[in-house]
């Protein structure tokens, strides 16, 4: 073997080791890869890694005439480790087709062919008809060497046929991934029957395994992202259900007391409270942003109930000329509720709440201000939790933002911004 061929072979074997090490690491730590695929690719890359190790050892001992026995052992394990990755696409195919392995004719046919190959490999250790290594460490094909590779070729071809037959059961990415792995490798093993290109075969097998892995990973990533979106949606559904129990109890007690003191006002508070509850429950079923005008009505119904409880201690002012945009359900009302709950002054002084909207060149802005004492996250983290819930829904549903800042003269300002690209 010439020096440049040695260099090429060592480079290929080294690249193979690195590729498989990366493949093993990615398979082990990629969170988007499901458990079955994780185990599958860990096994596949580990076997190919062992192939790479045996290839390197074979190159290392190739020119040493005293290492003929060692070379025979290395070649045996090299051939052994190479055969199992050829068989593994069968497992992947049956899994993706949702077929039980124990009932699969394809699986038993592949197992039989693999057993035949193992039998030939073992027999080759006691005869020269398949291949042999001379006492001075020279490798030669035997007269039946081509026959020894026939089981591997048949495994690959049967896998291709199996993929084609089951193509309707496979996703597009699974179909492409399997064919990308199987077709070039079938051709490479056929070439190996006539020309000793085993290292190239193993390298090609590893390369196509990486391509297959990337395709499967992208498919798993899509599923993972869909699951994360579903989880986020479920979290959002839970968030919109948040109502303060004591607010409901206080409202019912207010209505109870008003029934004797002012029946007409009790009726109005009951209607306002009914509107408030109806909007809350409607928000549960809403998966998309709602018109801001609906949020405004909901907020006004809520404030009417609060003002019945606090009478002359709560004042509101609305400056909302711009309402032609959409927001996640239950965005404005919880902001105002948060302002009422955490803005009420201990001295009993009136609380003023201001709700403003304006249209900008890049989107729509909502501002909720109160002149209360504000809140300190070191003292009370609850308002931040409520606002963070709203912030998460804004980001998820509208790509919007929520910022909190102190108000000049005391109080808190919460600003919501909805980009114009997300406005319906």
**The pLDDT of residue 199:** 65
- Looking at per-residue pLDDT, the higher value among 312 and 18 belongs to 18
**Is the CB of residue 72 less than 8 Å from the CB of residue 62?**
no
**Is the CB of residue 24 less than 8 Å from the CB of residue 49?**
yes
Beta bridge partners of 401: 417
- Mean pLDDT (whole number) for 5-25: 80
**The pLDDT of residue 292:** 92
| Percent of the chain whose predicted confidence (pLDDT) is above 70 | 86
Residue range 171-222, pLDDT digits in tens: 888 888 888 888 888 888 888 888 877 766 777 777 777 887 887 777 777 7
Local structure of 138: helix, strand or coil: coil
**CA dihedral (25, 31, 32, 35) positive or negative:** positive
d(CA 384, CA 132): 75
**Is the CB of residue 269 less than 8 Å from the CB of residue 258?**
yes
Residue range 92-150, pLDDT digits in tens: 899 888 888 888 999 999 999 999 999 999 999 889 899 888 888 888 888 998 999 99
Single out the residue of 125, 36, 115 nearest to residue 83, CA to CA.
115
Residue range 139-158, pLDDT digits in tens: 888 899 899 999 999 999 99
> Does residue 237 carry a pLDDT above 60?
no
Confidence band, pLDDT 50/70/90 cuts, at residue 287: low
Local structure of 178: helix, strand or coil: helix
304 φ/ψ angles, rounded to the nearest 5 degrees: -60, -40
Single out the residue of 385, 383, 384, 401 nearest to residue 393, CA to CA.
401
Beta bridge partners of 201: none
**Is the CB of residue 32 less than 8 Å from the CB of residue 217?**
yes
Single out the residue of 167, 161, 176 nearest to residue 213, CA to CA.
176
**The pLDDT of residue 333:** 86
Q: Residue 264, by phi and psi: left (phi above 0), alpha (psi -120 to 50) or beta?
A: alpha
* Total-model pTM: 0.54
**The pLDDT of residue 369:** 92
Other CB atoms within a 10 A radius of the CB of residue 303 amount to: 23
Residue with tokens 């302002």: 339
Beta bridge partners of 133: 139
Domains annotated for the chain, with CATH where assigned, are 3-234 (1.20.1070), 241-422 (3.30.565.10)
Between vectors from CA 271 to CA 369 and to CA 251, what angle results, nearest 5°? 65
d(CA 204, CA 202): 5
> Does residue 234 carry a pLDDT above 60?
no
- Mean pLDDT (whole number) for 349-369: 91
**The pLDDT of residue 150:** 93
> Does residue 241 carry a pLDDT above 80?
no
Residue range 301-342, pLDDT digits in tens: 888 888 887 777 888 999 999 999 999 888 898 888 888 887
- Mean pLDDT (whole number) for 330-359: 83
Residue range 378-400, pLDDT digits in tens: 444 445 566 777 888 888 788 89
**The pLDDT of residue 257:** 78
CA of residue 329 relative to chain centroid, distance: 26
Residue range 43-95, pLDDT digits in tens: 888 888 888 888 888 878 877 788 888 888 888 888 888 888 888 889 989 98
């Amino acid at each position: 073997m010439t020096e440049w061929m040695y260099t090429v072979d060592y480079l290929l074997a080294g690249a193979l080791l690195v590729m498989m090490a990366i493949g093993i690491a990615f398979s082990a730590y990629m969170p988007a890869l499901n458990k079955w695929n994780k185990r599958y690719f860990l096994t596949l890359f580990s076997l190919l890694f062992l192939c790479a190790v045996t290839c390197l050892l074979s190159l290392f001992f190739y020119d040493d005439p005293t290492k003929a026995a060692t070379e025979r052992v290395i070649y045996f394990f090299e051939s052994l480790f190479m055969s199992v990755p050829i068989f593994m696409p069968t497992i992947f195919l049956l899994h993706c087709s949702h077929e039980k392995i124990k009932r699969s004719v394809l699986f038993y046919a592949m197992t039989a062919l693999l057993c035949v190959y193992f039998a030939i490999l073992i027999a080759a250790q006691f005869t020269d008809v398949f291949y042999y290594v001379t006492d001075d460490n020279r490798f030669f094909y035997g007269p039946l060497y081509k026959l020894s590779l026939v089981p591997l070729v048949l495994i690959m071809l049967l896998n291709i046929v199996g993929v084609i037959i089951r193509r309707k059961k496979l996703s597009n990415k699974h179909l492409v991934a399997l064919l990308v792995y199987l077709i070039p490798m079938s051709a490479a093993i056929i070439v190996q029957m006539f020309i000793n290109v085993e290292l190239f075969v193993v390298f090609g097998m590893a390369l196509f395994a990486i391509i297959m892995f990337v395709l499967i990973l992208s498919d798993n990533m899509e599923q993972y992202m869909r699951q994360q979106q579903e989880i986020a949606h479920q979290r959002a559904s839970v968030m919109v259900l948040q109502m303060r129990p004591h607010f409901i109890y206080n409202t019912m007690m207010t209505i109870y007391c008003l029934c004797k003191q002012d029946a007409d006002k009790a009726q109005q508070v009951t209607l306002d409270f009914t509107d408030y509850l109806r909007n809350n429950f409607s928000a549960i079923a809403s998966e998309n942003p709602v018109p801001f005008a609906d949020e405004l009505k909901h907020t006004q119904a809520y404030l009417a109930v609060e003002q019945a409880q606090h009478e002359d201690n709560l004042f509101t002012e609305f400056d909302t000329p711009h309402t032609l945009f959409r927001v996640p359900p239950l965005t404005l009302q919880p902001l105002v509720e948060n302002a009422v709950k955490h803005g009420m002054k201990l001295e009993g002084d009136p609380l003023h709440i201001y709700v403003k909207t304006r249209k900008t060149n890049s989107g729509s802005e909502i501002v909720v201000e109160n002149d209360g004492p504000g809140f300190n996250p070191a003292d009370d983290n609850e308002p931040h939790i409520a606002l963070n819930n709203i912030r998460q829904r804004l980001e998820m549903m509208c790509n919007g933002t929520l910022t909190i800042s102190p108000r000049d003269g005391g109080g808190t300002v919460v600003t919501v911004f909805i980009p114009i690209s997300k406005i319906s």
